[in-house]
């Protein structure tokens, strides 16, 4: 067996052991998860926390925690964008969104600012390599159902 194969196996094993040690589930996907890829248990938990309404379709979901314990999540539904941290949650109807901006900041990752018609702003931050672009694309497509001319402003930093 080649040295590279052995090293590759060790690195892979250390990565899985590291995730287990941190409490991350190997069964639950991490990063941005789209639509039907979201596990049923996660959907039920979001409904139990009143973050997902029964009449909404879940389009994108992201748990920002290492343990995937849902203590900081953001989601895009067919009608809203939701951000929840701890016992606090904020939701914005997509029909009320007037502007979305997106940029990437080095180690912080994707920064998405969503502004509503009444001036409220919601900021979503997705760590690097966690699928922030996919989240923004789904958010833009969902928003365009309410405003066909809507476009995310993508800024370079």
Per-residue pLDDT of the chain (157 residues), as tens digits, is 443 443 344 334 334 333 333 334 446 788 999 999 999 999 999 999 999 999 999 999 999 999 999 999 999 999 999 999 999 999 999 999 999 999 999 999 999 999 999 999 999 999 999 999 999 999 999 999 999 999 999 998 6
Question: Reduced to 3 states, what is the DSSP secondary structure of residue 38?
Answer: coil
What pTM was estimated for this model as a whole? 0.81
* Residue boundaries of the structural domains of the chain: 1-27, 31-154
Instruction: Name the class of domain 31-154.
Output: mainly beta
What are the angstrom distances between the C-alpha of 120 and each of 12, 55, 69, 98, 116? 44, 24, 27, 10, 5
Residue written as tokens 């596990």? 39
């Amino acid at each position: 067996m080649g040295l590279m194969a052995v090293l590759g196996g060790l690195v892979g094993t250390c990565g899985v052991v590291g995730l287990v040690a941190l409490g991350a589930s190997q069964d639950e996907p991490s990063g941005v998860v789209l639509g039907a890829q979201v596990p049923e248990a996660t959907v039920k938990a979001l409904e139990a926390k009143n973050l997902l309404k029964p009449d909404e379709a879940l389009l994108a979901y992201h748990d920002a925690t290492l343990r995937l314990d849902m203590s900081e999540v953001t989601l895009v539904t067919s009608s809203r964008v939701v951000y929840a941290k701890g016992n606090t949650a904020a939701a914005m109807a997509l029909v009320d969104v007037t502007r979305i901006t997106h940029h990437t900041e080095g180690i912080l990752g994707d920064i998405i600012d969503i502004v509503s018609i009444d001036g409220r702003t919601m900021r979503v931050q997705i760590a690097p390599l966690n699928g922030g672009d996919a989240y923004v694309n789904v958010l833009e497509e969902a928003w365009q159902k309410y405003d066909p001319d809507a476009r995310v402003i993508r800024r370079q930093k």
